[in-house]
Structure 1
Amino acid sequence: MTATRTGRVSGTRTVVIYLSLVVLPAAAATALLIAVGGGRGRAMSIAATVHPYARLFLAIALIVVVCKAVGTLVAKVGQPAVVGEIAAGILLGPTLLSSVSPAARQWLIPDPTLAQLQVLAQIGVVLFVFLAGLELDVARLRGRGRLALVVSHVSIAAPFLLGVLLAVAAFARFSPPGVGFLPFALFLGVALSITALPVLARILLDLGMYHQRIGALVMTCALVDDVTAWILLALVVAVATASSVLGVLVTIVLTAAFAGVLWALRPALGRLLGADGGAGGRGALHLVLVGVLVAATCTEWIGVHAIFGAFLFGLALPRESVVAKRVTSMIGGVTKTLLLPLFFAISGLSTDLRLLGIDGSLWGWCVLVVAVAVLGKFGGAVLSARAMGAPARTAGQIGALMNCRGLTELVVLDVGRQLGILSPALFAILVLMTLVTTAMAVPLVKLFRRGEQRDALDIHLGQPGC
């Protein structure tokens, strides 16, 4: 039957056309490839089974699932999910997976894939630090009083001093070859001074304390800590990478000039990002993302690491603008659920807790580092809060919250690892310290809050007429 006026073709004719124009050319091409390609076909099929992109996607899926599973598990016992995610990264590394089956670790996360994951992880860290700067409310620093000022500064000064003192004892044991005492001591001081602002905000929200007076106080103190810690870290990187005193000064001057330029552009950025979500808004959104990468590139060239440029760019943007909120919602989820787990995995793959088991003395160093970290941060915050007249249990809550280090600490430690300031053993000890001090926060706060409620009840029952 021929085609009708409406253009329809009979079934038989369709089959003939398909066989002639599709099946026969495909069969001919296959026969030609087999004849000419010979035995190379098998090698090609084997190569296809180990395709690097397939391995990369499999590794990403594994990491995200493990981090989510362990994070959910620890959240059920009242811990912030980041504690489980850090632990998951350690489990995927030499500490567990490589110990149980080195072949399985190499098959799941082979070395070529690991290099690809490191690039993605660094992008995640840059975006995370940018979001941390964007979400910081600098207005919190106004009108918070003397208590916030003293607690925040003591929470930096005390652990920094103890970190430098610890470096005096640890330098001979843990400093890598070629690393001088000054960058080693400065870095250890900064590492013990960190408070994880994003994790702290999450804890306060979970405990219903974010909008209370103590929540505002602690967030203010942590904000000062965060800004100070990034500045100190920039100084440490400048000292570690510059070849002379003049080089350090040039790096500091260039960093200050870059920060000044960004701050001077803040009003213009505010006008640019104040637009609604039209075409201009979409253009501004792309401009923000490009700005993050350009700022990160500038500070990397200056010599103070890419994350510092991303943080400064986040601080310079008006956080209440429409585009800033859209950026947070769009890249925040991808960064926290996809890219940061890759960073946890990379940190875990660089953390070999088996090193601590080889030499029993290293566990003694581990206990010492944790004790010094807690004494400096928790002890310094409690002491300063009490000295400024805060009740004992309120001071205890402030100290417990300020002692939370979380993901921000891992970012700082990763910088030290990349610069070669931290030996593998010291890196493992400091990662373990991060895990312990972050896990301490919620139980200690709940303990002090229960005691606070008991004190209030005792006072109430002791009043006349009750």
Structure 2
Amino acid sequence: MQATKSGGKASPWRYALLVALPMLGAVALSLYFSGPGSTARVAPVAAVHLSSPLARFLLQLLTVLVVAKSAGWLLRRLGQPAVIGEMAAGLLLGPLLFGAVFPQTQTWLFAPESLGALSLVSQLGVLMFLFVAGAEFELSSLRDRRGFALLVSHAGIALPFLCGVLLAFALYREHAPAGVEFTGFALFMGIALSITAFPVLLRILSDRGMDSTPLGRIAVACAALGDASAWCLLAAIVASVQADGWGMVLMSLGGTAVFAVAMTAGLRPWMAKQTIAPGKEGRSLIGLLLLALTAALITELLGIHALFGAFLAGIAVSGNARLRDLLVQRVEPLAIALLLPLFFAMTGLRLRIDGWQMSDLALCAGVIAVATLGKFGGTWLSARSAGMPSTEASKLGVLMNTRGLMELIVLNLGYELGLIGDRLFAVLVIMALVTTAMTGPLLDLLDRRSRLRASVN
């Protein structure tokens, strides 16, 4: 406590005696003499206030954050990236676990009519996340191995894309929602099996100390180029699904192409020359956020999706290291720590397993196997054909099989567009979690095999 002007000290006991005790006494007396049953009305009043939209939203937010961060801490102790625990926690808050153990509490806390604010804030979190992901997409990282990265990243898309389309033939009749054409369903399945989680991959490489190794740099370049290519394919699919006729499809794709060129070839060089004056970081940050929101609005109006605009805005910023660092320092912690767990929770609330059948468990295992073999096989074959040693090519294939958050974003987009139903959505979400969680153990296995061979030789 600070000393007063007269030299005495305002001790905590003196404050409690002279301030807290009289206030508590006044409240107690007012409740006692306000009539019979007045104290019994305190609980109902609290319950009424707890049912208000703001109180419900704050309780949802607290629940999601506590569960997500706890699960992230636990998974990190087990050697997995924290984001995997947060993803799993979001799913467990839905009917899968919370709804099965405490159905009435889960139904009250996450009532459908109360999820509007949570959904919008989670979408904002995804926009900011993709904005930062685009800013971390450094084209300079492709300079030395551009041809290799182009081959491996596109081969890592082509083979699993083909596997997804072939898988669609077996799944379309039972799992495609009514009114969905086979072409849209098959193309979306191809994309769903082709995604690599570029931001999650960065964190896995950093946690394992591989981010500065030659393999780590190649993996980052391949994942970044692969994600950009996959998002272009997804934009075409979204345009074809949402547009009314091929004329509208061409208009949406043409407008998006013009906008993408303007952002990457026009705005990006200009942004690369900008500087931040000392003490003006806040003004620059506001400008960057306005850029992201404007770009997201433009692609939404073009009939693609707001997510693509946010990603393009990030790419426009990626050429300026100072602006990129500003986003990573100021925006990324907010998006990852606060907003993305809400997106995981919304994904979990969409997960419905009440209609699952025993055949869906076999389907889940089959989809995981096809997705893994397609991604790993395409990457390994292309890397080996370009002269990479087998062990390094295997590690690269394992890293490219990481799907994580990007996969969940794509799956939620497909679910919102009505391209997949509840059962297949649940299967693909589990596939995203499993293929991401297996990255660390598979890399450890390959490392042990390399050491064993080295000791034998």
TM norm structure 2: 0.87
CA distance in 2, matches of 1:80, 1:364: 27
Q: 1:162 maps to which residue? A: 163
Larger radius of gyration: 1
Q: 2:383 matched to 1:385?
A: yes
Q: 2:327 maps to which residue? A: 327
Q: Which of residues 431, 434, 447 is equivalent to 2:432?
A: 434
TM-superposed deviation, 1:179: 1.0
CA distance in 1, matches of 2:212, 2:234: 30
**C-alpha offsets along residues 220-251 of structure 1, whole Å, 9 cap, x if unaligned?**
11111110111111111001101111111111
Q: 2:361 maps to which residue? A: 363
Q: 1:23 maps to which residue? A: none
**C-alpha offsets along residues 96-131 of structure 1, whole Å, 9 cap, x if unaligned?**
111112211023323333221100000000000110
Structure 2: unaligned runs, 5 residues or longer? 1-34, 36-40
CA distance in 1, matches of 2:171, 2:254: 31
**Contact 1:131/1:328 (CA < 8 Å) preserved in 2?**
yes
What is the letter of the counterpart of residue 407 of structure 2?
Answer: E
Q: 2:92 maps to which residue? A: 91
CA distance in 2, matches of 1:267, 1:393: 39
Q: 2:268 matched to 1:266?
A: yes
TM-superposed deviation, 1:319: 4.3
Going from structure 1 to structure 2, the CA distance change for 1:54 and 1:42 (only over 3 Å counts) comes to: closer
> What's the secondary structure of 2:285's corresponding residue?
helix
Q: 1:9 maps to which residue? A: none
**Contact 1:201/1:219 (CA < 8 Å) preserved in 2?**
yes
**C-alpha offsets along residues 391-450 of structure 1, whole Å, 9 cap, x if unaligned?**
222121111111000111001111101111110111000000001100110111111112
What is the letter of the counterpart of residue 112 of structure 2?
Answer: D
What is the 5 A alignment of 1:25-174? 47-144=48-145, 146-174=147-175
What is the 5 A alignment of 1:305-324? 305-324=305-324
TM-superposed deviation, 1:86: 1.4
What is the letter of the counterpart of residue 96 of structure 2?
Answer: T
Q: 2:199 matched to 1:201?
A: no
TM-superposed deviation, 1:150: 2.2
Aligned length: 419
CA distance in 2, matches of 1:445, 1:409: 21
CA distance in 1, matches of 2:73, 2:141: 32
What is the 5 A alignment of 1:205-216? 205-216=206-217
Going from structure 1 to structure 2, the CA distance change for 1:312 and 1:368 (only over 3 Å counts) comes to: same
Going from structure 1 to structure 2, the CA distance change for 1:179 and 1:391 (only over 3 Å counts) comes to: same
CA distance in 1, matches of 2:46, 2:344: 34
Structure 1: unaligned runs, 5 residues or longer? 1-33, 35-39, 460-466
**Contact 1:274/1:321 (CA < 8 Å) preserved in 2?**
no
What is the letter of the counterpart of residue 128 of structure 2?
Answer: L
Going from structure 1 to structure 2, the CA distance change for 1:458 and 1:422 (only over 3 Å counts) comes to: same
Higher deviation after alignment, 360-369 or 142-151: 142-151
**Contact 2:131/2:292 (CA < 8 Å) preserved in 1?**
yes
**C-alpha offsets along residues 259-301 of structure 1, whole Å, 9 cap, x if unaligned?**
1222212233233x4122334x433321111111111011011
**C-alpha offsets along residues 24-51 of structure 1, whole Å, 9 cap, x if unaligned?**
xxxxxxxxxx9xxxxx999977633422
RMSD: 2.1
What is the letter of the counterpart of residue 388 of structure 2?
Answer: A
TM norm structure 1: 0.86
**Contact 2:379/2:397 (CA < 8 Å) preserved in 1?**
yes
**Contact 2:177/2:419 (CA < 8 Å) preserved in 1?**
yes
Going from structure 1 to structure 2, the CA distance change for 1:45 and 1:390 (only over 3 Å counts) comes to: closer
**Contact 2:215/2:396 (CA < 8 Å) preserved in 1?**
yes
Q: 1:255 maps to which residue? A: 256
**Contact 2:136/2:318 (CA < 8 Å) preserved in 1?**
no
**Contact 2:134/2:311 (CA < 8 Å) preserved in 1?**
yes
**Contact 1:175/1:422 (CA < 8 Å) preserved in 2?**
yes
CA distance in 2, matches of 1:45, 1:374: 51
Going from structure 1 to structure 2, the CA distance change for 1:397 and 1:49 (only over 3 Å counts) comes to: closer
What is the letter of the counterpart of residue 111 of structure 1?
Answer: P
TM-superposed deviation, 1:160: 0.6
Instruction: Kindly report structure 1 stretches of 4+ aligned residues shifted beyond 6 Å.
Output: 40-45
CA distance in 1, matches of 2:86, 2:354: 20
CA distance in 1, matches of 2:47, 2:94: 28
